[in-house]
Structure 1
């Protein structure tokens, strides 16, 4: 089989890959987008059934296409989000090849470019864009042995309550996924325990505006780097049930048991770290800080938005906030399943080039890596807070495509001058 040649190979056909294709196309750069499954596959097969977008339809989209069949203030279901990216790929005529797995990328010897080895043959490319996003390798902490008599799964395998055996459920992780899954399980009638660590807890809406709007006008989406020490603090936010503020006190009042961070396991008992009180207080502080800044912005700009003093009124703390549960016997508590909503790790084992730091993380500046011709897209905080969101990755893709176009002009000039010299 002859080796194909193309200017740029984009690896990944999710939101990052489709955005990348649009901007490469606008520069007239020959490229292909390789996706091992379907476009936006993770939205379809690696998320729970009832998942909806965490931002309203007017906000969580690319600039060139609206969710025409969805109320702008509604939260699109996951299948609708996946279909949106298929529609967008069709709209821009993106050269996406589905069912093609990239097995390995290596540098060509003695000349610029890369060899991209795929399940459908080899491709030589000037540039490679790793657009596989941040949700690559599910992380389950090595706490409860796999042979213990309790079902364990990562949140990417959870689909609905009927999937689990009868009995109580422990959800580990209080970010968006953990909070939403725990709430769904409790609504289904399950006894639910939620293990929570430090988290931010913004209001879903305030004074008639969604928090996405507030973070936009307050400049929060464009913050270039996280505050030191907060890089891995999760955000508890939800678009479920039409959009609601995640309120752990309300969940506890409805029957959920709150626990601190899961720490260890021994002889059928789970042990939890101290710090639940501090975690709840941290979430409250984040919540109130958004309200404070929103109020100040509204006053400064004379916005006629209804005041909402009741938003600052919290339910009483549940008993476990003041008297934390440090140990829990799984059998005595009736826990038959554990869902680990504990995030993901990056996996670039296929990208065998010099584009990583000593910790194995991408070495880059706004997606432009230290290895000429290698680019990253879809990383958290790639250029700003909003980078891993749908609209944010679109803007990051433009910067990467512009960089590729600039480098192409230098290479074309070199080729032109070399040919002229050879002709003299």
Structure 2
């Protein structure tokens, strides 16, 4: 017998939990399908030492705080996963773990969708794709498999001890790449970091975390527009949190390189853009300081000045005389770690809701396919959409839309003219 429900939510992470809370409040029957465990990616697709990039007071859902954590602490990944599990239990979210969705198709006859899963078939009037932004690890096809060199994506990295002996090249200088690089530098290895375009916000400024500054400056809620794209951000909460400073890391022994371009016969080449990428990161950093100072002055905030924050060190030799190529064997590089982000995987969602390159076609999560919704995408409605608190607000908007649609469909009257 085919099971029926109003809404099927695919994904039991922060997006799926947020959707379930709002669906529960709206008394809309639904099922959340999770292929593994609730919040699984926080446990098994992250390295051992990872902590949240935002402080505990900020990176959470509105209705529950982290237990036993100082508001300004950066919560370890396992505790973030536990928090999400506890949050789902708070309202008895109908999450079914260990259920993989094979396909979602529109019904041949009648309204709604057929959801084929490893646990049977479900018919639903609406489907919310809550698989988020981190679906398929993306590794550029630059370097072939090479004997003696281990190539892994950042999702497969756990700790330095699990890597083979030898030196490491990290490709990608966003949050994952910069944090893993800083951890690897605590070992005896020589570390190389390939730096692409990135934003580099201050961790703290004038006694406030950058999450607070982006909030009061209305930058978290900056709305998406056609040119809004996911921006690589170098920020870290590790070891209590500090501003990522690539120049400082270079003075400690890190070798900075430009964007990774080609590989041939053991030789890796890099673009001549390292200095440009570093300077553009500085510009994004200083722009936030400028906005923060202007806001503090305009509103008369009694926050301590922080002139040292504007002091930027001199360029190390690897920036002034950039290295354009290296011999991976001569440098004894035995691990290449790709911190290069993710691509989409919607092979299971077989509906007309995509643009070119399998990019979701939507406005604020409402897709071009009536009845299908996306949740947890970068810039879905605002800059903060892919964060825990941001996805909660996007989920409310989507559930409100479903509720309105149900209201129209519940109407049983007619359009007859009534004479008064």
RMSD: 1.1
CA contact (8 A) 1:226 1:385 kept: no
Q: List runs of 5+ in structure 2 lacking aligned partners.
A: 415-420
Q: CA deviation at 1:225?
A: 2.6
| Partner in structure 2 of residue 341 of structure 1 | 339
Is 1:81 equivalent to 2:58 in the alignment? Answer: no
Aligned counterparts of 2:147 and 2:188: Cα–Cα separation in 1: 25
CA contact (8 A) 2:203 2:209 kept: yes
TM-score by length of 1: 0.96
Which moved further from structure 2: 171-180 or 351-360?
351-360
Find 1:275's aligned residue among 273, 276, 281: 273
CA contact (8 A) 2:224 2:379 kept: yes
Aligned counterparts of 2:139 and 2:379: Cα–Cα separation in 1: 23
| Partner in structure 2 of residue 320 of structure 1 | 318
CA contact (8 A) 2:10 2:16 kept: yes
| Partner in structure 2 of residue 422 of structure 1 | none
Q: Map residues 396-411 of structure 1 onto 2, 5 A cutoff.
A: 396-411=394-409
Residue deviations 1:127-146 (CA, integer Å, cap 9, x gap): 00000000000000001101
| Partner in structure 2 of residue 154 of structure 1 | 153
Aligned counterparts of 1:104 and 1:147: Cα–Cα separation in 2: 36
| Partner in structure 1 of residue 101 of structure 2 | 102
Aligned counterparts of 1:25 and 1:233: Cα–Cα separation in 2: 33
CA contact (8 A) 2:230 2:378 kept: no
Residue deviations 1:206-229 (CA, integer Å, cap 9, x gap): 00000000000001101113694x
Aligned counterparts of 1:25 and 1:89: Cα–Cα separation in 2: 11
Q: CA deviation at 1:360?
A: 1.9
Aligned counterparts of 1:176 and 1:227: Cα–Cα separation in 2: 25
TM-score by length of 2: 0.97
Which segments of structure 1 move beyond 4 Å, counting only runs of 4 or more? Answer: none
Residue deviations 1:293-347 (CA, integer Å, cap 9, x gap): 1011111111111000011112221111111100000011111100000000010
Q: CA deviation at 1:189?
A: 2.6
| Partner in structure 1 of residue 417 of structure 2 | none
SS at match of 2:220: coil
Q: CA deviation at 1:232?
A: 4.2
Q: CA deviation at 1:109?
A: 1.0
| Partner in structure 2 of residue 260 of structure 1 | 258
Aligned counterparts of 1:378 and 1:155: Cα–Cα separation in 2: 20
**Equivalent residues, number:** 414
Residue deviations 1:104-127 (CA, integer Å, cap 9, x gap): 111101210000001110000000
Q: CA deviation at 1:148?
A: 4.1
Is 1:308 equivalent to 2:306 in the alignment? Answer: yes
SS at match of 1:386: coil
Aligned counterparts of 1:398 and 1:232: Cα–Cα separation in 2: 22
Q: CA deviation at 1:417?
A: 4.0
Residue deviations 1:154-180 (CA, integer Å, cap 9, x gap): 000000001101111000000000000
Is 1:22 equivalent to 2:24 in the alignment? Answer: no
Q: List runs of 5+ in structure 1 lacking aligned partners.
A: 419-424
